[in-house]
Amino acid sequence: MAANTTHPDYDASLPAWLRARDVIAGDDAVKAGGTKYLPRLDSQSDDEYLAYKTRACFFNATSRTADGFLGLLFRRDPEVKLPDRHAGVGGALRVFTDDVDLMGTSLFTFCKGVVGEVLALGRCGTLIDWQADGESRAYVVRYAAEDILNWQTQRINGRNVVTLVALREVVAKPDAEDPFSINQTETIRVLKLESLPDGGTRYIVEIWQEQKSANYRRKKSEWKLQESRVPLRLGKPLPLIPFVFHGPRNALPDVDKMPLADIITVNLDHYRLDADYKHGLHYTALPTAWVSGFDKDSELRIGSSTAWVAEAPGAVAGFLEFKGHGLSTFENAQNRDERLMAVLGSRMLEDTKRVGETADAIELRQAGENSILMTLAISVSDSISQVLRWVYWWNSTEPVPEDVSENLVLIQINTDFTAKGLTSLELTAIVSAWQAGAISQATMFDLFRKGEVLPTGRTDNEEKNLIGKIGQENPTGVFPKPGNSPVATTIPMPIPAATNNQ
């Protein structure tokens, strides 16, 4: 079996992945697909089909939906739990979060990239590796769904474990003769888990490269093993493959349904309807002049500065003009598709209602879309937390990655998609609960942060220092009223009933 052998689920999903790529890319990519997305009409020549396709407009509702969902998920920065930066592992993780891939990508940008891929195709993966030369630290490489060619799982020691992952890579090297040219070579990185006689396992990396056959009759390419190595950590082989799958519902290797699959289908149907509608407009929208009884050799021009004169009795002239409901049928079908895309998840495509709605009514109406996003946010949070646990394990002494718990490293992507902050009654209730000793001050600050009262990034200690400065500047709690009036008003400062609530 060749190194580039693909998984059956990969073969079944690849056409849908490529279609999703083209749709999200927009008008040029969809039109470049030609008859794959817009079939020819009967007896159309190449020139006629080109004009037919050019007149059509692709309304990219899918990309707009994906961007809107991504904006909702990252309306707030993800919450990240890391060890103290002054500790050994904590310091290494802080370096990692600033540059996760040795190319300057921050953890926040990496998370957005992973979520964007999961939204678009419902799948991507991350390889965690160690750079032995240079900085000597862990880093990650993200792989798109199309580049994860094959995978296998096996039950080892009572649990299902990934035993093989085949990843396609394109290696770019400068041309030896022309420094301005780049030679690209396709390679396959195979990650294998080998069983040992003592019942353990070890991780092996193989690099395969395609070899061009000298025999022109052989169409099937040959792959040759270029490199094989056993990565070590603390002088020992890794017990598992350091690769994490990302999906919209879980972090399993199985291919899951694309979140935007239904919208993509309706979006392409809308494109075909628009092509037919514009095709009909092209031939029927402009009235066509017709004459009877005029000299066939006479030149007739249309305009206010010309007149048509006929010497034959009974000569008539007029315009052929389309009348009927044929084109309105296409318009109604397009409107229906737009409503379907809105129902399938793109509420931002829907026309704004003229009737005023309360925040609770809007939140209830969008509950379906929010539930889909929440499931995706929880799934990707779990898989990226696995990536962080792998990085922590690379820099620690725990025997296996599973020993790194969520108490040490964790990331949580935003699951609050409403723009509604805390009301005055809710603020009062939270402060009263803190004063009564029902919640700690840290919990109160966390609720304020989630309710968008405190700005993102401000720590509890920074907020305490700001409160202390206000108390020093106004020890009596008396603030002057706006304007030139010397009358002052007293604003009561909340004093906790229990002084040990920190």
Name the residue ranges covered by the structural domains of the chain. Answer: 9-142+247-294+309-420, 424-502
Quickly state the pLDDT bin for 489 (edges 50, 70, 90): very low
pLDDT of residue 324: 60
pLDDT at position 13? 96
Separation between Cα atoms, residue 20 and residue 260, nearest integer Å: 8
- As a whole-number percent, the residues of the chain with pLDDT over 70 amount to 80
Return the pLDDT at 213.
65
Mean local confidence (pLDDT), 174-186: 82
Question: Which residue shows structure tokens 């929010």?
Answer: 370
Name the helix (H) or strand (E) containing 154: strand 148-156
Structure confidence by residue, pLDDT tens digits, 125-134: 999 999 877 7
- pLDDT above 90: residue 88: no
- Residue that the structure tokens 């678009």 belong to: 120
Contact 501, 431 (CB under 8 A): no
Q: What CA–CA distance (Å, rounded) separates 31 from 97?
A: 40
Where are the alpha helices (H) located in 357-459, listed in sequence order?
359-365, 367-394, 424-435, 441-450
Q: Is the pLDDT of residue 61 over 90?
A: no
Q: How confident is the model at residue 475 (pLDDT cuts 50, 70, 90)?
A: low
pLDDT of residue 217: 59
The pLDDT of residue 438: 87
Question: Is it the case that residue 46 has pLDDT exceeding 60?
Answer: yes
Alpha carbon distances (Å) from 295 to 19, 134, 384: 56, 89, 81
What percentage of the chain reaches a pLDDT higher than 90? 35
Q: Are 58 and 31 in contact (CB under 8 A)?
A: yes
Residue 83 sits at the vertex; the CA angle it makes with 77 and 85, to the nearest 5 degrees, is 90
Residue 464: name the closest of 416, 496, 491 by CA: 496
- Helical ranges in 255-325 per DSSP H: 261-284
Range list of β-strands (E), 270-393:
288-292, 316-320
Q: Which segment of 220-229, 236-245, 442-451 scores lowest on mean pLDDT?
A: 442-451
Amino acid present at 364 = L
Query: How would residue 333 be classed by pLDDT, with cut points 50, 70 and 90?
Result: low
Contact 205, 167 (CB under 8 A): no
**Residue whose C-alpha is closest to residue 191's, from 212, 218, 161, 216:** 161
Give the other-Cβ count within 10 Å of 408's Cβ. Answer: 19
Torsion of CA 345, 347, 350, 356, to 10 degrees: 150
Q: Which pLDDT does position 358 carry in this prediction?
A: 57
- Asked if 75 and 450 touch (Cβ cutoff 8 Å), the reply is no
Three-state secondary-structure class, residue 407: coil
Higher pLDDT, 494 or 467: 467
Task: Reply yes or no on whether the pLDDT at 396 is more than 50.
Answer: yes
Q: In whole angstroms, what is the distance from residue 502 CA to residue 497 CA? A: 12
**Segment of 236-240, 331-335, 416-420 carrying the highest mean pLDDT:** 236-240
Higher local confidence (pLDDT), 443 or 277: 443
Q: What is the mean pLDDT of the chain?
A: 82
Nearest to 340 by CA among 350, 331, 328, 330: 350
The larger pLDDT score, comparing residue 365 to residue 140, is at 140
Half-sphere exposure of 342 (CA within 13 A, CB side): 13
Asked whether residue 368 carries a pLDDT value surpassing 80, the answer given is no
